[in-house]
Chains A and B, each alone.
Chain A
């Protein structure tokens, strides 16, 4: 059986293989589909919905939807882009994201996406929720103000570090990342060398005492917009 076939993204025919997700196939073809919870080293869970594409008329998360022969996918259309923009906007207002002094600025995937989408101010009212800052770990700071509930840390701790430091707890608006300890990160077996420390797309989990060491101009997204690395595969 031939396991390669064609799918169409925004009118462009590309090659896909059985077992790939839409995101995998698009990445290989140099087509960028924006994403936040997805990470190449982690199993996809389709939680952030930023990678939503329209497949044969229905919205689907590209990071989890397997490709099928002849699929017709909309990625870069006004309706899809607006939908993603709305999701990103909601992430900004549901947390306390102060890019102007955040040490993740320039290296933050949420901020980089906002720039890519041309978001200068959110369209929804700020919620200004009360969030905790957990400084109990000697080498890692957990600032819940900036969490977007992507659960990368939950998966990285389990899948990559063989630990179980983080979990999602609570429901709806009150859902948050909890730690598997008496009460604080300092009670857990987390180590600064864990993959879970550096996998956070925003400034929620950060290494202590190294903020701002990379000067402005040399940070990841100072050089090129997010997604450029994928688009450069087939410029």
Chain B
């Protein structure tokens, strides 16, 4: 008789999800599924809206990284208005907005959502293992987390007009530059921010190396990795071409113009989830699934063009002899390398006088179809639109980062369940570890189904006949 374990809701991730663990007749884990139980349908209801509204409209998918949707849509709409190259001030303002976003999102995830697990251990009392517990026991870290998030949010406000759901990027450019006063306000604090980035990176690195034996077998598996990279192979979070590599670093495709992403990436639908399952077309759904996000980006790029993050990248890859790192929990270390990179990029941009430029808009010849890609905090984000001669959207396809990580998250949960499930009961230890594995991907489940709501977790354990053997809820 097969059995099923269900964990619902999953906590400290963005959105609402449910985990089901299926047991076979022998009581062994046969499969784990992370269900996304909400549905929103943005792709449908933006049809008919004017194209210039989309960057502002579609960012309402999410309150955590709306800037990513804002910019991905704006990049697509640049194509619709026939602009392939923005003016230098416009591109740099957008980049600053994006690095501000990356900075605040990574800080939020690390300090507010993940640090309780790393600081207190997976088995610590949930009453202590939360952000309030961190604030009590490690007040300096809690302050750092809050201040770093604030810094990123203020950059977003200065470039987009609001901390959440701004209007800065418009098709063909931006609607404002950065004033000298705003710039000086950020420059004043940048050294402190970079110092905190280094300290955060150290925590993530030390944690990973201290627990490397355990983590190597904690929801880890070999996978392909997909990311945008610059033409010279450098990490570029705002713009680049698509690269896919295997678990050992061989290139599957490279320097693909993302306007034709659909020739290389396909999506599969499964009946038990609203979230689709993307895969690399040439490898098929069985073998073509891949990971995106910090781990994939560090693995896929040839180098990072800021010195401290580049040194950290080499350090990171040294434990795998320069080959891609496939340890799920190494996402946190990779994420902190990116946090430092974002900080370095912000400093570089703040010292660039183009940010005070006034040439903010470019023009071109109108097109009917365009794709915008960006490396969002959680990974590659795809926006694809068709617009008719009346300027109204007729088709939209969004592949968000969490969707790309769908299969990997399922495998991570399955791996953890196989290792830690004993009997037909959901123990506290199992619940904790399933959540920790999912959290490594920083999933934004609202976004992934284009859905809404808080993210509590439910886990259910089900037998072969579909009977629920056990159920635990955490919210």
Interface residues of A (CB under 8 A from B): 100-101, 103, 133, 135-136, 141, 208-217
Contact = CB atoms under 8 A, between A and B. Distances in A.
A212 B170 contact: yes
**Closest 8 A/B residue pairs (Cβ):** A216-B161, A135-B390, A215-B176, A101-B57, A212-B167, A215-B175, A135-B392, A101-B56
Contact of B392 (A103, A133, A211, A215): A133
Given A209-B391, A213-B175, A217-B161, A135 B167 contact: no
B166 to A, nearest CB: 6
Nearest to A101: B57
B162 interface: yes
Interface in B130-172: 160-162, 165-168, 170-171
Contacts of A141: 50, 391
Interface in B387-404: 388, 390-392
A136 B52 contact: no
A214 to B, nearest CB: 7
Contacts of B251: none
Nearest to B56: A101
28 contacts: A100-B60, A101-B53, A101-B60, A103-B52, A103-B53, A103-B56, A133-B50, A133-B392, A135-B50, A135-B388, A135-B390, A136-B390, A141-B50, A208-B50, A209-B391, A211-B53, A211-B170, A212-B167, A212-B170, A212-B175, A213-B175, A215-B161, A215-B167, A215-B175, A215-B176, A216-B162, A216-B166, A217-B161
Given A101-B60, A133-B392, A136-B390, A212 B165 contact: no
Contacts of A208: 50, 52, 391
B85 interface: no
Given A100-B60, A101-B56, A133-B392, 7 more contacts: A101-B57, A101-B60, A135-B50, A136-B390, A212-B167, A216-B161, A216-B166
B429 interface: no
> Most B CB atoms within 10 A — which of A133, A135, A136, A217?
A135
B323 interface: no
B49 interface: yes
A216 B174 CA distance: 12
A213 B48 CA distance: 21
B247 to A, nearest CB: 41
A100 B70 CA distance: 13
Dominant secondary structure at the B interface: loop
Nearest to A206: B50
A213 B90 CA distance: 13
Contacts of A215: 161, 167-168, 175-176
Interface of B: 48-50, 52-53, 55-57, 60, 81, 160-162, 165-168, 170-171, 175-176, 388, 390-392
B52 A212 contact: yes
> Most A CB atoms within 10 A — which of B50, B55, B392?
B50
Dominant secondary structure at the A interface: loop
Nearest to B366: A209
Contact of B175 (A135, A136, A209, A214): A214
Contacts of B48: 133
B77 to A, nearest CB: 10
A92 to B, nearest CB: 18
Contacts of B56: 101, 103, 211-212
> Most A CB atoms within 10 A — which of B48, B49, B53, B165?
B53
B203 to A, nearest CB: 36
A135 B53 CA distance: 13
A213 B161 CA distance: 12
Nearest to A103: B53
A219 B53 CA distance: 17
Contacts of B162: 216
B60 A209 contact: no
A217 B160 CA distance: 10
A100 B161 CA distance: 13
B338 to A, nearest CB: 28
Contacts of A210: 52
A82 B248 CA distance: 69
Contacts of B160: 216
Contacts of A214: 175
A117 to B, nearest CB: 22
A141 B165 CA distance: 23
B165 A100 contact: yes
> Most B CB atoms within 10 A — which of A141, A211, A217?
A211
A120 B50 CA distance: 27
B60 A213 contact: no
> Most A CB atoms within 10 A — which of B60, B167, B176?
B167
Contacts of A133: 48-50, 392
Nearest to B74: A212
A83 B81 CA distance: 46
A211 B49 CA distance: 13
B42 to A, nearest CB: 11
A141 B162 CA distance: 26
Contacts of A216: 160-162, 166-167
Nearest to B167: A212
A211 B52 CA distance: 7
A211 B176 contact: no
A213 B171 CA distance: 10
A185 B166 CA distance: 31
Contacts of B170: 211-213
